[in-house]
A and B are shown apart, each in its own frame.
Chain A
Amino acid sequence: AQRVTQPEKLLSVFKGAPVELKCNYSYSGSPELFWYVQYSRQRLQLLLRHISRESIKGFTADLNKGETSFHLKKPFAQEEDSAMYYCALKKAGNTPLVFGKGTRLSVIA
């Protein structure tokens, strides 16, 4: 069965510092990978998906099939980036999202 691992429960960085939230997955096929974010007192929402190859709010994520990783990166963290971040995987077709346990990012002023 597919699995998503986010090794850090909490990540604290200073404002302006680079951020990398790690996500590793186990799945032998070709997955779709996503990052979801939940800001304080807000709903869980999609941040980005690997197939769109976009940069959202300065965040990017590259799917590395060799390392089975989909790390989320931002060169300069902002206080408003403080939130809970979830990595999620979906097999092709009509299949459910499988979420990691999440990483809480805290950006310190």
Chain B
Amino acid sequence: EAGVAQSPRYKIIEKRQSVAFWCNPISGHATLYWYQQILGQGPKLLIQFQNNGVVDDSQLPKDRFSAERLKGVDSTLKIQPAKLEDSAVYLCASSLAPEETQYFGPGTRLLVL
């Protein structure tokens, strides 16, 4: 089966610009996650969707980050405006259900200058 797809793979922007990342989960996976992985750290959950509803966004900086999964399939994560500290790899993962194994995408590496 095809894995989790993410685009773009790399993005370089200047601070205060906006950026958007896209994720296509494995077909049939109801649960979708966005993680932020800063260099030297483990992934940190930003937001979790169950179908098109938000389950957990407690660690999402809502003043600048937003995410949606309108039709319960693809998802978009947006940062507006970006800060230097947002430089990280943004990982998308999906699972059949919250208690099932998470499958990760290749990530989007963001550099904010």
User: Could you say which residues of chain A place their CB within 8 Å of the CB of B3?
Assistant: 43
Which B residues form the contact surface with A (CB < 8 A)? 3-4, 33, 40-45, 48, 50, 55-56, 91, 98-99, 101-107
Q: How far, in angstroms, from A43 to B101 measured CA to CA in the complex?
A: 14
* Majority DSSP secondary structure for residues of B touching A: loop
- Tell me if A44 and B40 are in contact (CB < 8 A): no
Nearest chain B residue, comparing its CB with the CB of A43: B104
- Tell me if A94 and B42 are in contact (CB < 8 A): no
Which A residues form the contact surface with B (CB < 8 A)? 4, 9, 43-46, 49, 86, 88, 93-97, 99-102
Known A43-B4, A94-B99, A99-B42; 20 more pairs at CB < 8 Å: A43-B3, A43-B107, A44-B43, A44-B91, A44-B104, A45-B103, A46-B101, A46-B102, A93-B98, A93-B99, A94-B50, A95-B56, A96-B33, A96-B48, A99-B43, A99-B44, A101-B40, A101-B42, A102-B41, A102-B42
